[in-house]
Structure 1
């Protein structure tokens, strides 16, 4: 359900990437299916953070925070923030251990289904998420280990509404829509905002039924 396009298109559903080395942020929806704004913020003292602005949930992310992180790790953390909102958990405050675990599993599942977490990449992601004591201040808590193999199969299917028949062609169309979404968000971050999410929604509508 966070139909994505993040390069989601993560969605094949939400964080997918036009370039395997560059995460794309966007395409998140809340538990009611409403778009959740994704805003780049180079002053944010975190890799990604959820919050409430003007009465609605938003996700802010800082692509320069913790520069040692791999692109797939940034994609995972953004996907986890989106899953948190989509699951209906509070956008403010720290999740409890069970809530964080469910959001972690949903994020990992969406990355696998989108092809962003390919075979052999998960150990590198989990190693990257072995955070130093001071790094936890930059990552949504609670402090925990990330053992994603233990996640139930299909943890994120209810979140992202993965299509079945005709999915390869549909995915390709959605990924093509994600590229201009990323460029639009970049312009917006530079002060030249446009209705990025509306343009993206119109684009994927043209992809037809999967």
Structure 2
């Protein structure tokens, strides 16, 4: 099965707690694909009462995110929540409503695995992520449910391989190629925020298609 493709712009900076942005624009969210390999739009929504949600619009799965929601969260936590939302869609689970505990757990582990396999999450980062995901009662309505303990340390290394496919010798080059594709996506979304919208996701999908399969 095709590897799940997703990226949150300048991921290395995010994992170390840095902020990768230019001209006041937050890091890029995008690059998710569904179980058939079709791009899943990632839409900024400053009115969204959640960090990230999944849904169906016009018959297609979409991810909406609000970078201002729960400002206390670490950038790494936002990366995980976006990856979890993407994994949910890629696994073929319904985009509407809360998942049951088993499906939420699998999506959690798939998200962790995607961060690990990209070299973006180590044991220290995992501890910080789990600590940051100890949510207050009023915060649970702002993140994908159901309410649960994020026992991410128990996610086996490679737990997402049944979804993403096993890593190959070309994984590092593929990662670099996908990250390079994020740069024009970032510029495109910045122009869109200024009222000069273009089909950013389609251009990004075409770019990563040229990266091949890891």
Question: Do Structure 1 and Structure 2 share a fold, with TM-score over 0.5?
Answer: yes
| Matched residue, 2:66 | 62
CA RMSD of aligned residues (A): 2.0
Structure 1 residues 173 and 127, CA gap change in structure 2 (3 angstroms) = same
Equivalent position to 2:150, from 139, 142, 146: 146
| Matched residue, 1:119 | 123
Q: Which aligned runs of 4 or more in structure 1 are off by greater than 3 angstroms? A: 158-163, 205-210
When normalised by structure 1's length, the TM-score is: 0.88
Q: What is the alpha-carbon distance in structure 2 between the residues aligned to residue 132 and residue 186 of structure 1?
A: 33
Task: Choose 106-115 or 177-186, whichever is displaced more.
Answer: 177-186
Answer yes or no: is 1:201 the counterpart of 2:205. yes
Answer yes or no: is 1:93 the counterpart of 2:97. yes
Equivalent position to 1:181, from 162, 179, 185: 185
Structure 1 residues 16 and 150, CA gap change in structure 2 (3 angstroms) = farther
Answer yes or no: is 1:30 the counterpart of 2:24. no
Runs of 5+ unmatched residues, structure 2:
20-26
* Alignment coverage as a number of residue pairs: 203
Task: Choose 190-199 or 169-178, whichever is displaced more.
Answer: 190-199
Runs of 5+ unmatched residues, structure 1:
8-14
When normalised by structure 2's length, the TM-score is: 0.86
Task: Choose 91-100 or 185-194, whichever is displaced more.
Answer: 185-194
| Matched residue, 1:6 | 7
| Matched residue, 2:13 | 19
Equivalent position to 1:71, from 75, 80, 90: 75
Q: What is the alpha-carbon distance in structure 2 between the residues aligned to residue 191 and residue 155 of structure 1?
A: 41
Task: Choose 17-26 or 106-115, whichever is displaced more.
Answer: 17-26
